[in-house]
Amino acid sequence: MNPLLEQIMETTKEEIKGIKRSIRGKNRPEDLPEIRDFTTAVSRPGQIHLIAEIKYASPSTGVLSEKRDSLKISTAYETAGAAAVSLVTEKHFFNGDIREISLLKQRMRLPVLRKDFIMDPVQLEESFLYGADAVLFIARILSPAQLRELICAANAFGLHVLVEIHDETDLEKALACGAKLIGINNRDLNTFQVDPGVTARLAPRIPSACVRVSESGFRSAQDIQRFISQDIQAVLVGTALMKSTDIFAAARSFVEAGQELPW
């Protein structure tokens, strides 16, 4: 495993200890909207949907945006026609903030995916308390037993689950644990290299009953065209949007590209 990934996981484990103390006795605010149907939002037939991500930094690309205005960004995404918003909440390496989920949920209508390094059920309780509609699990960093436990816990809170895979072993694990919404990460978490061919290789192996999402490596809207034949229902795009000088226009271009399919 990549040393940086190991460091992120160790830091997350320390964070989990604090979460267990901080949410003790805490209730979900009554003014938060109910959980929204993330799965349906990203899988309606007839187009490839955009899951637009808010991410301020990453270990592989550094700082993506010095300015922080998640509400303004999410509003641009929603107006552009995105199907859902992904919010990276890991704070030490990605400059995220889980508290922003509540703000987004109260001010827009799109479902919100919490993207983080989730390894303990208490993080799902935390996700629910802050208003997340869906959570991402990384198959690579979880044992089959852990993944099953987390999926079960997420279901108990009513949260939708996107299980991220990168190779055949990850896919077998995800399917064995009952994953129905599968994200194919084109980025190798061991090398941080991006290969769009990962989606082309793995997508045909995913049962048709599952929803397929392709993640990472989308530099422009034209990149969506390569997945026309792969039966991908959605793409998750973050870096290209966050680096854009016009986030609305960039998001709109991805949305329109996903609508211009010969189906």
DSSP-derived letter for residue 25 is T
Distance CA 97, CA 118 (A): 14
Q: Is 95 a catalytic residue?
A: no
Please tell me whether residue 188 adopts helix, strand or coil conformation: coil
The one catalytic residue in 53, 90, 100, 125 is 53
Q: Is 20 a catalytic residue?
A: no
Place of tokens 């189906």: 263
Place of tokens 């799902």: 124
Q: Are strands 57-58 and 181-185 parallel, antiparallel or unpaired?
A: unpaired
The one catalytic residue in 164, 173, 186, 253 is 164
Q: Is 27 a catalytic residue?
A: no
Positive/negative CA dihedral, 177, 147, 145, 127: negative
Q: Is 53 a catalytic residue?
A: yes
Positive/negative CA dihedral, 98, 71, 114, 140: negative
DSSP-derived letter for residue 204 is G
194, 80, 183, 148 alpha-carbon torsion, rounded to 10°: 140
Q: Is 215 a catalytic residue?
A: yes
Q: Is 14 a catalytic residue?
A: no
Distance CA 85, CA 75 (A): 10
Q: Is 55 a catalytic residue?
A: yes
The one catalytic residue in 70, 74, 127, 185 is 185
The one catalytic residue in 90, 115, 126, 253 is 115
Distance CA 127, CA 174 (A): 21
224 in Cβ contact with 235 (< 8 Å)? yes
Q: Which residues are known catalytic residues?
A: 53, 55, 115, 164, 185, 215-216
